[in-house]
Structure 1
Amino acid sequence: MTAVRTTRTRFTGRTALVTGGGSGLGRAIALAFAAEGANVVVAGRTEATLKETVTLIEEAGGTALAVTADVARSADLAALVAAAVERFGSLDVAVNNAGILRAGQPVADLPEEDWRTMLDINVTGVLLALQAEVGQMRAQSTGGAIVNISSTLGAHTSVAGTAAYGATKAAVSALGRAAAVEHIRDGVRINTVSPGSSDTTMSFRPGETEADRAARVKETNPLGRVSTTGEVAAAVLYLASDESGSVVGADLVIDGGAAA
């Protein structure tokens, strides 16, 4: 994956933090911010993949920092925000993208461990990230913008075998709306992006090839294809930019019309 070069500079001089930035959608978002001039901090649990993202950004002429952190641990998130501010001087944008999907079982057969793990990472992880990020942003005279990554599963649609994941993502959407109202007067603007199937490993069913996925989505999605990671990243950058200055508490669905 390579960064898309652009002449836009909406984030020059700003610091953007992306959790789950070592792969997939998180990496695409990090590259997109870097391409528009941001100093990017990528966080996650796997150091090697985070360093790969940093290398891609630096090879494209950008600046980035990798910080290993578990979003389910408040101490890790406090240290993450502190590292971003120590290196770049501020925290202007945060994208809470880290998440986990464990699917395939109906509610009655869902392993308790899977339920608790998804709650810890997908919901508590977003809450703890918001607390650390808002704490820093409201202490800055410039405030900041936060974008939470939810999903069409949960608040917008449902698929058999994904009840727990959907429940956690519906919680992210609800948490984002509440936090947006509570903290806009602190100078912190919070919104949510809810992707449907996008070009990441999460969009594949067990044993499915890329051709299998394309054939399935062509029949089931109004657009006829999955969203690209670049299309989702573009939505995130819009919500994080000054162009969306009056957008507060929105939940932007990017799914090719599947939940319409």
Structure 2
Amino acid sequence: MQRGTRLAGKTALVTGGGQGVGRGIALALAAEGAAVVITGRTESKLKDTAGEIAERGGSAYISVGDVGDRADVDRMVAETVREFGGLDVLVNNAQSSVQRRLEKTSYEDVELTYRSGPLAVFHAMQAALPHLRDSRGSVVNLGSSAAVQGEVTFAAYAMAKEAIRGLTRVAAREWGAYGIRVNVVCPAALSPAAEEYLAAHPQKAAELAHEIPLGRLGAPEADIGRAVAALVSDDMAYLTGATLMLEGGRTLIG
């Protein structure tokens, strides 16, 4: 595969980079020349992604940890800077999910999604700020089209994802003075989690095929990852505080 150069010389940290959308983003950033640090709780998955980046001629480093633990988040950022000398791109992708109808959603469900979602994003952004100020870097936070639409059974998840969007807009206003851009992408991608969910809910799979104008869920690397790579490049240097809907037009309907 031919490597691009839009992100040559830059370093990116991608949370939850061992599988699904996070893996796709990590591969796409590396394909554009970035050195990539991928984090997650399962070392074997991180090693697989890092190995694929290396096979393609890229540079990757893994950091095992839980984004729900502030100490782990601080360590991940510190390891990134130690390994590659700085930080230009932060992608907050990791997020635990719970699907239950609202009346059956528990405090523990909400606490899990908040700890792994908006609180993790908040901690990572604070830890990364000194380094992003130095590089005039970029942050991409992952939202969700399910949250934008208010899908049934996604109460806790939607709460967490919309909190991330609110945090993103505040950061875009406050950090613009530092030259830091902060944006959200809301993907609809065929990740392993999505495949598992749709296999368990065949009616939902049929509905999705009908709902998406482009007729398919996005590919984690080709559709989501490459869009993120473009978003953090100089080609999109005037965009901040935005929500980019990478969902094949799905939210146009309904």
TM-score, normalised with respect to structure 1: 0.91
What is the identity, as a one-letter code, of the residue corresponding to 2:57? Answer: G
Q: CA deviation at 1:31?
A: 0.7
What is the identity, as a one-letter code, of the residue corresponding to 1:147? Answer: V
Q: Kindly indicate whether the alpha-carbon contact (under 8 Å) linking 2:88 and 2:131 is maintained by their aligned counterparts in 1.
A: no
Q: Kindly indicate whether the alpha-carbon contact (under 8 Å) linking 2:32 and 2:229 is maintained by their aligned counterparts in 1.
A: no
Q: CA deviation at 1:184?
A: 1.2
Partner residue, 2:112 = 117
Output one character per residue of 1:173-202: Cα deviation in whole Å (capped at 9) or x when no partner. 111111111111112111110113x11123
Partner residue, 1:52 = 48
Match of 2:36 among 37, 40, 45: 40
SS at match of 2:185: strand
Q: Kindly indicate whether the alpha-carbon contact (under 8 Å) linking 1:193 and 1:235 is maintained by their aligned counterparts in 2.
A: no
Call closer, same or farther: CA 1:128–1:7 in 2, change over 3 Å.
same
* Identical columns (%): 38
Match of 1:217 among 208, 217, 235: 208
Matches of 2:104 and 2:165, distance apart in 1: 26
Greater length-normalized contact order (CA 8 Å, ≥ 6 residues apart) = 2
Call closer, same or farther: CA 1:234–1:75 in 2, change over 3 Å.
same
Structure 1 moving runs of 4+ over 6 Å: 209-213
Matches of residues 211-250 of structure 1 in structure 2 within 5 Å?
A: 215-229=206-220, 230-250=222-242
What is the identity, as a one-letter code, of the residue corresponding to 2:190? Answer: D
Match of 1:86 among 82, 86, 102: 82
Q: CA deviation at 1:111?
A: 2.4
Matches of 2:132 and 2:198, distance apart in 1: 44
Q: Kindly indicate whether the alpha-carbon contact (under 8 Å) linking 1:226 and 1:255 is maintained by their aligned counterparts in 2.
A: yes
Aligned length: 251
What is the identity, as a one-letter code, of the residue corresponding to 2:141? Answer: N
Q: Kindly indicate whether the alpha-carbon contact (under 8 Å) linking 2:20 and 2:191 is maintained by their aligned counterparts in 1.
A: yes
Matches of 2:3 and 2:192, distance apart in 1: 30
1:158 aligns with 2:150: yes
1:149 aligns with 2:145: no
SS at match of 2:112: helix
Q: Kindly indicate whether the alpha-carbon contact (under 8 Å) linking 1:150 and 1:172 is maintained by their aligned counterparts in 2.
A: yes
Larger helix percent: 2
What is the identity, as a one-letter code, of the residue corresponding to 1:79? Answer: R
Matches of 2:92 and 2:18, distance apart in 1: 13
Q: Kindly indicate whether the alpha-carbon contact (under 8 Å) linking 1:153 and 1:169 is maintained by their aligned counterparts in 2.
A: no
What is the identity, as a one-letter code, of the residue corresponding to 2:193? Answer: M
Match of 2:94 among 92, 98, 107: 98
What is the identity, as a one-letter code, of the residue corresponding to 1:80? Answer: M
1:15 aligns with 2:11: yes
**Unmatched segments (≥5 aa) in structure 1:** none
Matches of 1:121 and 1:33, distance apart in 2: 23
**Unmatched segments (≥5 aa) in structure 2:** none
Output one character per residue of 1:142-194: Cα deviation in whole Å (capped at 9) or x when no partner. 3211111111122x211111111111111111111111111111121111101
Partner residue, 1:255 = 247
Call closer, same or farther: CA 1:253–1:188 in 2, change over 3 Å.
same
Q: CA RMSD in A?
A: 1.8
Q: Kindly indicate whether the alpha-carbon contact (under 8 Å) linking 2:121 and 2:141 is maintained by their aligned counterparts in 1.
A: yes
Q: Kindly indicate whether the alpha-carbon contact (under 8 Å) linking 1:101 and 1:202 is maintained by their aligned counterparts in 2.
A: no
Q: Kindly indicate whether the alpha-carbon contact (under 8 Å) linking 2:65 and 2:73 is maintained by their aligned counterparts in 1.
A: yes
Q: Kindly indicate whether the alpha-carbon contact (under 8 Å) linking 2:184 and 2:241 is maintained by their aligned counterparts in 1.
A: yes
Q: CA deviation at 1:214?
A: 5.7
Partner residue, 1:180 = 172
1:63 aligns with 2:21: no
